[in-house]
């Protein structure tokens, strides 16, 4: 079954916007992003905590920026 081009364009745009949202959230507030992850893991009865908090904050912020860049790339390349 073929997916209509308009639906695919819409789906990629929504995915890119969600990526931008989570990327900005993660880059701006890495401590909250880590806290969200810890809470989600509690739902599954797992304990998660950073070993080196300073390193974890830095890495989380960098990954948030990368997620923003990937979201922007999707928007730019898919919607010329």
Q: Find, among 30, 14, 17, the residue nearest to 65 by Cα.
A: 30
3-state DSSP: the chain helix, strand, coil percent, rounded to 5?
A: 80, 0, 20
78: confidence class by pLDDT, cuts 50, 70, 90: confident
Tell me, yes or no, whether 38 lies in a domain: yes
What total of structural domains would you count in the chain?
A: 1
pLDDT in tens, 17-67: 999 999 999 999 999 999 999 999 999 999 988 899 999 999 999 999 999
| Domain limits for position 68 | 16-78
pTM for the whole thing?
0.82
Task: Match 């990526």 to its residue by tokens.
Answer: 19
pLDDT at 1 over 80: no
* pLDDT for res 7: 86
Tell me, yes or no, whether 25 lies in a domain: yes
């Amino acid at each position: 079954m073929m997916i209509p081009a308009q639906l695919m364009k819409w789906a990629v745009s929504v995915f890119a916007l969600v990526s931008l949202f989570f990327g900005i959230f993660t880059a701006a507030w890495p401590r909250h992003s880590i806290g969200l992850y810890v809470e989600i893991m509690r739902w599954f009865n797992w304990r998660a905590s950073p070993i080196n908090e300073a390193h974890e904050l830095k890495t989380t912020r960098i990954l948030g920026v990368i997620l923003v860049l990937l979201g922007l790339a999707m928007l730019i390349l898919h919607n010329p």
